[in-house]
Amino acid sequence: MEHPLLLDTQRRLAGGALTLAPMLDGTWELPARYGADWRAEYEAVLKPGSVGLTDRSWLGVLELTGRDRQTFLQGMVSNDVAVASLQPGQGRRAAFLDSTGHILADLFVHALPDKLLIETDPRCLDRLAQTLDKYLIMEKVRLRDVSAEWATLALQGERSEALAASVEDGTGGFAVPRRHSAAPGHDLWLPVEAAPAAWERLIGYGAVPVGEEAREVLRVEAGLAAWGRELNETVLLPEAGLDDAVSYTKGCYIGQEIVARIAARGHTNRALRGILLAQEAAVPKPGDTVHLPEDAPEAGREIGRVTSAVTSPKFGGRALALAYVRREHHAPETPVAVHLRQPGGAVFAAAGEVRMPGG
């Protein structure tokens, strides 16, 4: 099992309060929380004048060098990453699709003066690298896995930009705007050797370490799709609502024909939505199903499936889920029933209503 590059520093600063837990399908053990209760970490992100700090050094990172790097990648991914539109110092979300428009990897592309850095979930990294390498023919491009050379620290909260700038200079790293919650945010990219000192400096400046439990709650409340939950090889790009990951005016790329056809049609058969459950309802599990309620025509018909769920402070401690819901029923305030699977096979139906993700 993999561990964060900064674990020794985090243990030294947090002491016995640091709790680790298996994440990313059990391939990584990451900080779940840095204290007794994740709610204090949650508040640090949203409270005025505060800022939360999350270690994202588990990210997979591919480096593309060579004179044809942007021309080559332009024909591979869903967003516009051509030289004319993605200049050094800029970043852009994109997706790598198969020929049928399904998502093989969720990406963020960073342009540096002499290279591109592609961040992705580590579970996607090998397949992405192998597939890109397969499409390289005559292009002057070199691909390299540099995941072990970079550490990414996510600052979330209204002070995120100022704190990122205070640490960035002289490290050989860079900062980019990046939102992982409803709060403004910046990701600070650092060479691994500079990351422990930067983490310690940020804590000294008042940043509050935020573990995966609070980060997950903030993500679901903001309606942000994550790989392994809302995003995988069975999901079409337009279903996930990743409008910032696609350009409809660029040239061809893998899967472009399907994405364009869906855009021309104006809808998908299902879409990502939030489901706010009734007060006191238990938190669903991924895979629990969404149905029409008992008083609806076709009562009990399955219309969706839960992908993530949390206890939401934003909604007074009620259960909040993300789910893919069929388009006939995904209008906000549509009443639904979520079937909660119980140990032993029993199923309990909890009332809820559809909301826009992040709404």
Q: What is the pLDDT of residue 251?
A: 87
Give the span between the Cα atoms of 8 and 10, in whole angstroms.
5
CATH fold, domain 269-355, is Elongation Factor Tu (Ef-tu); domain 3 (2.40.30)
Q: Is 91 left (phi over 0), alpha (psi -120 to 50) or beta?
A: beta
Question: What tens digit of pLDDT does each residue of 111-165 get?
Answer: 999 999 999 999 999 999 999 999 999 999 999 999 999 999 999 999 999 999 9
Average pLDDT over residues 184-195: 96
Tokens 């110092």 -> residue:
89
Radius of gyration of the chain (CA): 21
Which bin fits 25, alpha (ψ -120 to 50), beta or left (φ > 0)?
A: left
Q: What is the pLDDT of residue 254?
A: 96
CA pseudo-torsion sign 103, 105, 109, 114: negative
Q: Range with the lowest mean pLDDT among 70-79, 175-184, 258-267, 301-310? A: 258-267
- CATH architecture type of domain 7-58+148-222: 2-Layer Sandwich (3.30)
Task: Sketch the domain layout of the chain as residue ranges.
Answer: 7-58+148-222, 269-355
Distance CA 315, CA 214 (A): 15
Position 203 pLDDT exceeds 80? yes
Q: pLDDT value at position 104?
A: 97
The residue-averaged pLDDT of 183-207 equals: 96
pLDDT of residue 15: 82
Task: Express each pLDDT in 256-293 by its tens digit.
Answer: 999 999 999 888 999 999 999 999 999 999 999 999 99
Question: Which one is predicted more confidently, 58 or 297?
Answer: 58
Intrachain domains 7-58+148-222 and 269-355 with the same fold: no
